[in-house]
Structures are given as structure tokens and as C-alpha cells.
């Protein structure tokens, strides 16, 4: 083993430890922390962020990386990939002052607390000054980098390395008219009934049923846990401590099941990462779009499929006999796949979901380039919702305040959800060619072969390959929406008789 590589790993391990300590504090902030603890928590996170930034961007790190580029020139080896990915992250981080990292961490904590209050009161004005601060900091962050084709490129690159804004807009531009056409065709048919999904369901039983599903998927509760939070998320502290959170909504009680599946998909990715990559930049998922391909696959391509409910519906009906009395399997399957423009992104059906994402991408680009003023966001949001989906949110909580991301400065994130949908369908076609009886396995409640295929072809590589490279490696294709359009068209043609 190279002495210099050992030195690099030692520094990276300490940076990783600081980052994961911050992640634990962030998890606690959303799960356990009393409301009054926000200010102190912000200072703690700021300190950890600053220390990690200083350690990662040290002169020692720069010298080691230059030497190791010569020692491990092959980017396809684990060592070469570690040097390549670390050098890329280092060159970006070196441009960002540690004091700025601390300032951004503090603003994120304050923004999160303000968002929770604003959403609870459905009052954007409470959150507005904190969002203005976050956007101001995001613009400052962009200024640390050389001019890009679009300033949004700098932000997107943090979540989807190497994918420019123009390419995402092109992908969405090709997809949008096809989804609009599908939605229009569905709107002209007889609507399916789903009133039974909105009855009163026992929260504890729904929560427990969700945990039984993800246990079958392979989520290991010896290496993870599920807790309540204002917004569902997955967080990783190490390969053996991968946690998820969820929520219960009285007006959409079974959404908890699909959120559990979604976050489980993220967690399985993290749990399947090569343990040898621990405490280095190679650990975990390669990008948020690839990550979302996993969560959306388990939530939708598996969890909203007919074979899946052929296995689980008898137990669900037994658990909620009064709510589902007289509701057959096919009626339930159609109901959970009902296409109807709605206010809330995370509860949106597959046919309309990407419309929510495209709307957010437009708004984020406008916030960054200055064409949208924060004070106008509620009105702009509502106008775009009417334009994209034909509905107008009745209040801020169901409109501009519904998502948590902007509260902690994560601007550049949203497009990865739709990209994840696209990639999931590309992977699904490949998987079905290689696991020819996949539907039958799902029908029997057997998910092991699917999980291990994903682990062997995606998860184990961690961040060794960039997102577009891993998609090409597995499917032989670039990121392309054709497979997703085929999937949606086939599924909804059968449900709605198109």
C-alpha cells in the first residue's frame, strides 16, 4: 500500500467523520431536537462544516493529490478513482472559503426552523427573509467559480456532476410534450375512484405495514431505523447506520407506505456501497439522479405495480378491513395509480410528477439569474401550477412552502427527481431482460434477486463512476426519456383503456 495513499485516506477519514457528525446533528434537528435548540444547533453545524472545509482544502491535501495522480493514473482502479474523485471535489472546495461554509450552515439551520414555522402557519412571509438570505448565499457561492454557460450549472454540478443545465432542459423539453399528451388523453377518459384511500386509517398500523414492506425489500433494521420528521428523507452515517424518516398525513394516509418504499430505495443504495469505500468520497451514491432512480424504482415501478399488490393486498385488506370493504384488487391498484393534477409533489402520480419538477427547475433558475424576486414567489408558484397542472394551491403550505429543500439552501437539487424517474425506467428495461421472471418474483413477495442485481450493477460502485458513466455502463445508453415514456404509456393505457 502506498504511504501517500494512506496519508490521503487518513485525512479523508477525518473529513468524513466531521461530515457525518454534522449529519447526525441535522438528523436530530428534524427528529428529536426541541424547537428552542435551533440557534445553538446552527452554531454547532457551522463549526463542523468550517473544520471539515479547512481540513479538506489544506495544502497537504493538494500536495498529496498531485503526487498520487502520478502514482495511480488509471481512473478505473479503485485507487485511481479515489484520487480522481477527491481531486475533483478538492478543486471545487478549494474555491470556497471555510468562513462561507460556516455562514451557509448557520443560515441553513435558521432557514429550516423558519420553514417549519411558516409551513405550520401557511405563511410565506415568515420564511421569506430566510430564503432571501439562502439565495443571496447561493449567488455568492456561484461567484467563487469561473463563469459557466449558465450560473445554475455551478449548483447542478454539486448534485449531478458533469451534467449542464442546457442538457437537462433538453431532456425535459423532449419529455414534457409527451407527458402532456398522455395526461390529456387520460383526462378525456372515465376517472377511477379512490375515495376509500382518503378514509381514516390507523397511523400505527399504516406505519407498521410500511415497515413490513421495506423489511421484505431488504432494509436491515439492525443497520437502520425509521423515525418521524416534517419531510421524509434518508441519511447515512456509515454503511451500517443508514436511517430513514417518514410522516403520516391524515388526508393521504397510505402515502406513508410509498414514502417508506421511496426512502428505503435510497437506503438500500447506501447499504450496498462497497464497505472498502467507507470514510472516503467514493462511499455512497454517485449522484442524486442515480439515487432517485433507486428510490423511485422501489416506490413506483415495484410498489405501484399490480404484481406487488397481488402479493400485499390481501394482508392490507385484512389489516384495514372496514376501510377496504368491498374494494377489489384491481380497483385498489387503479386507485393508487390515479392520474389527477394535485398540489403536493411527493404525493403526485407518476404521470404528473415530472410537471412538479419542471416547474421547480424554472423557478430555481429564475431565482439564481435574478428574473424572479423572492417576494413574488407565492404568486409565481401558483401561476405556474395553474399553467403546468391546471390547479391553484389554496394556501402557501400546499404551494410554495411544501418542500423542505430551499430552507437549507439546496438549490439545484430538484431536477434530479425527474432525471431519477427517467433513469429508473432505463434500468428497469435492462433488469427485465436479465431477470425474466421478475413479475412472478414480485408477485410472490420475493425481492432478493432484484435487490442483488441493483447492488452488483449500481450500489457496490459507490461514487467510483460518474452518473452518466454508470448509466452507460449498465444500459449502454445515455440518459434518455424514451424508456420512461414507454413505461408510462403502457401502464396508463392498461389502467385507463387508452
Which fold is adopted by the domain 165-496?
A: 1.10.1370
| 450-485 pLDDT, tens digit each | 999 999 999 999 999 999 999 999 999 999 999 999
**Catalytic-residue membership of 263:** yes
Provide the pLDDT for residue 347: 84
| 3-class secondary structure, 235 | strand
Q: What rounded mean pLDDT belongs to the chain?
A: 95
Phi, psi of 228 (to 5 degrees): -90, 145
Provide the pLDDT for residue 1: 64
Q: Write down the domain spans for the chain.
A: 3-147, 165-496
Catalytic residue among 160, 263, 350, 362: 263
Provide the pLDDT for residue 359: 94
Q: In this structure, are residues 232 and 247 in contact, taking their beta carbons and an 8 Å threshold?
A: yes
Provide the pLDDT for residue 232: 93
Q: What is the DSSP string of 434-491?
A: HSTTHHHHHHTT--HHHHHHHHHHTGGGTTSS-HHHHHHHHHSS-S-THHHHHHHHHH
Low-confidence ranges of the chain (pLDDT < 50): none
| 1-31 pLDDT, tens digit each | 689 999 999 999 999 999 999 999 999 999 9
Q: In this structure, are residues 226 and 266 in contact, taking their beta carbons and an 8 Å threshold?
A: no
Phi, psi of 241 (to 5 degrees): -145, 85
Provide the pLDDT for residue 426: 98
| 321-365 pLDDT, tens digit each | 999 999 999 999 999 999 999 999 988 999 999 999 999 999 999
Amino acid at each position: 500500500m502506498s504511504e501517500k495513499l494512506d496519508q490521503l485516506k487518513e485525512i479523508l477519514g477525518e473529513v468524513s467523520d466531521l461530515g457525518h457528525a454534522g449529519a447526525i446533528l441535522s438528523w436530530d434537528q428534524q427528529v428529536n431536537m426541541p424547537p428552542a435548540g435551533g440557534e445553538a444547533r446552527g452554531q454547532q453545524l457551522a463549526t463542523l462544516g468550517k473544520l471539515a472545509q479547512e481540513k479538506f482544502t489544506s495544502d497537504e491535501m493538494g500536495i498529496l493529490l498531485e503526487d498520487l495522480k502520478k502514482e495511480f493514473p488509471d481512473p478505473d482502479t479503485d485507487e485511481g478513482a479515489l484520487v480522481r474523485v477527491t481531486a475533483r471535489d478538492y478543486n471545487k472546495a478549494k474555491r470556497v472559503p471555510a468562513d462561507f461554509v460556516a455562514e451557509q450552515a448557520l443560515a441553513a439551520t435558521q432557514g429550516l426552523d423558519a420553514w417549519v414555522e411558516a409551513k405550520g402557519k401557511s405563511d410565506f412571509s415568515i420564511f421569506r427573509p430566510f430564503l432571501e438570505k439562502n439565495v443571496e448565499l447561493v449567488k455568492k457561492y456561484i461567484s467563487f467559480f469561473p463563469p459557466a454557460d449558465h450560473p445554475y450549472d455551478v449548483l447542478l454540478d454539486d448534485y449531478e456532476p458533469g451534467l449542464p443545465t442546457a442538457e437537462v432542459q433538453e431532456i425535459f423539453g423532449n419529455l414534457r410534450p409527451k407527458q402532456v399528451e398522455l395526461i390529456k388523453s387520460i383526462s378525456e377518459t372515465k376517472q377511477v375512484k379512490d375515495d376509500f384511500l382518503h378514509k381514516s386509517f390507523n397511523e400505527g398500523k399504516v406505519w407498521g405495514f410500511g415497515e413490513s414492506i421495506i423489511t421484505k425489500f431488504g432494509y436491515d433494521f439492525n443497520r437502520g431505523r425509521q423515525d418521524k420528521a416534517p419531510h421524509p428523507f434518508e441519511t447515512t452515517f456509515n454503511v451500517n447506520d443508514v436511517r430513514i424518516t417518514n410522516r403520516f398525513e391524515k388526508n393521504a394516509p397510505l402515502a406513508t407506505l410509498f414514502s417508506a418504499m421511496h426512502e428505503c430505495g435510497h437506503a438500500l443504495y447506501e447499504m450496498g456501497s462497497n464497505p472498502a469505500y467507507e470514510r472516503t468520497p467514493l462511499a455512497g451514491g454517485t449522484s442524486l439522479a442515480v439515487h432517485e432512480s433507486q428510490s423511485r424504482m422501489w416506490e413506483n415501478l415495484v410498489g405501484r405495480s399490480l404484481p406487488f399488490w397481488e402479493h400485499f393486498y390481501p394482508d392490507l385488506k385484512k389489516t384495514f378491513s372496514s376501510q377496504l370493504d368491498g374494494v377489489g384488487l384491481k380497483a385498489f391498484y387503479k386507485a393508487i395509480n390515479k392520474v389527477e393534477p394535485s398540489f403536493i409533489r411527493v404525493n403526485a402520480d407518476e404521470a404528473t410528477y415530472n410537471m412538479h419538477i419542471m416547474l421547480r427547475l424554472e423557478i430555481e433558475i429564475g431565482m439564481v439569474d435574478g428574473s424572479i424576486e423572492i417576494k413574488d414567489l407565492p404568486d409565481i408558484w401558483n401561476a405556474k401550477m395553474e399553467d403546468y397542472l391546471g390547479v391553484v394551491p389554496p394556501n402557501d403550505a400546499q404551494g410554495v412552502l411544501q418542500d423542505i429543500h430551499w430552507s437549507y439552501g439546496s438549490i439545484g437539487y430538484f431536477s434530479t427527481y425527474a432525471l431519477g424517474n427517467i433513469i429508473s425506467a432505463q434500468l428497469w428495461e435492462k433488469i427485465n431482460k436479465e431477470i425474466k421472471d421478475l413479475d412472478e418474483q414480485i408477485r410472490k413477495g420475493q425481492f432478493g434477486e432484484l435487490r442483488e442485481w441493483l447492488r452488483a450493477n449500481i450500489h457496490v460502485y459507490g461514487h467510483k463512476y460518474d452518473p452518466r458513466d454508470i448509466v452507460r455502463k449498465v444500459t449502454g445508453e445515455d440518459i434518455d426519456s424514451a424508456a420512461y415514456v414507454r413505461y408510462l404509456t403502457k401502464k396508463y393505457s392498461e389502467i385507463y383503456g387508452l
